[in-house]
Amino acid sequence: MHTPRCHHASGTVREFAEVALAMGMVEIGMSDHSPMPKGFMDDWRMSPAELHGYLTEVEQVRDVLADDLTVRIGLEADFRLGSEEGVARMIGLYDWDYIIGSVHYIEDWDFDNPARLAHWDVVGVEEVYCAYFDLVAQSAATGMFDIIGHPDLIKKFGHRPPEGSVRVLAAEEAMLQAVQKADCALEISSAGLRKPVGEIYPHPRIVKRAAELKIPFAYGSDAHGPDAVGHGMDACLELLEASGVHEVCAFAKRKRSMQSIERAQGHRG
């Protein structure tokens, strides 16, 4: 979940936590968009100078609410070719609970930015999907990330490759193989339900195949405001259960533990 430091979120960490408590949750994680190394700056993330304030705010809420709610401290880092060293250095600055790695760019195209929608008209949807899944596979292979964020974000605006495209299915499979090999978790995110595509990330086909490969899942609302805390959690957990997955991950100091979905839901009363 995000804070206003990324320039596209609202609310205080305390407000996010209060909503979680009201929903009966016992654990949440903040994972704001991380600063990026020089040359990769833009308006979608905190600056390096804001990292300290981010940590201070989350630590304070974590400590104040410690008896009632576990608050984990993470980051959502961008995976962009050429930024790996800088991102690794940034990750090394703190004892994080978890790091999400996300692909939001294909080369210089921030394909999830509504202002860049026109670029879809000059690219091939099939090529773009393959390039996207290839980057996600590469992000897993770096070994820098605990969770692969919204693993089919490329569908955000509803662009679809031809049904049954062999190339896209192969790229999807290669992505999942890379995630399995790197022992990463996949995020199951309700954010897609709030976007034009109107679907959970990732697609049920990907969830099913990941389940076969015994890849673990972490639920994320990707909330950019307190109103979205826990949004779509039941739908995400139901999709997992329907795919034969009965556990979700939690993280502490970058160690993964598994929680049964039954227990995760029971906690909410």
Query: Applying CB under 5 A, which residues contact Fe ion?
Result: 102, 149
Rounded to a whole number of angstroms, the minimum distance from the CB of residue 153 to Fe ion is 7
User: What token pair was written down for 211?
Assistant: 């389940």
H or E element, residue 100: strand 98-102
d(CA 111, CA 156): 9
d(CA 172, CA 168): 6
Q: Compute the Cα dihedral for 6, 206, 250, 228 and give only its sign.
A: positive
Nearer to Fe ion, 29 or 149 (CB): 149
Length of the chain: 269
Report d(CA 103, CA 109) in Å as an integer: 11
We find the least distance from the C-beta atom of residue 187 to Fe ion, in angstroms, to be: 9
Question: Contacts by 90-97 with C-beta closer than 8 Å and gap 24+?
Answer: 90/34, 90/35, 90/36, 90/37, 90/48, 90/51, 91/144, 93/51, 94/51, 94/55, 95/253, 96/253, 96/254, 97/29, 97/72, 97/73, 97/251, 97/252, 97/253, 97/254
**Residue number, 149 or 230, with CB nearest to Fe ion:** 149
Cα distances (angstroms) measured from residue 51 to each of 3, 17, 66, 139, 205: 11, 20, 22, 23, 37
Least distance (Å) between residue 78 CB and Fe ion: 8
Report the residue number, 149 or 232, with the smaller CB distance to Fe ion.
149
Residue nearest to Fe ion (CB): 102
Q: Which is nearer to Fe ion, 130 or 191 (CB)?
A: 191
Shortest distance, position 5 Cβ to Fe ion, whole Å:
14
Q: How far is the CB of 66 from Fe ion (least distance, A)?
A: 28
Judged by CB, which is closer to Fe ion: 144, or 169?
Answer: 144
Taking the complex as a whole, the smallest distance from the CB of residue 262 to Fe ion amounts, in Å, to 29
Tell me the three state secondary structure of residue 23. coil
Largest Cα separation within the chain, whole Å, is 53
Look up residue 41 and give its two tokens.
């700056």
Pick 102 or 243: Cβ nearer Fe ion:
102
Q: Between 7 and 246, whose beta carbon lies closer to Fe ion?
A: 7
Q: How far is the CB of 100 from Fe ion (least distance, A)?
A: 8
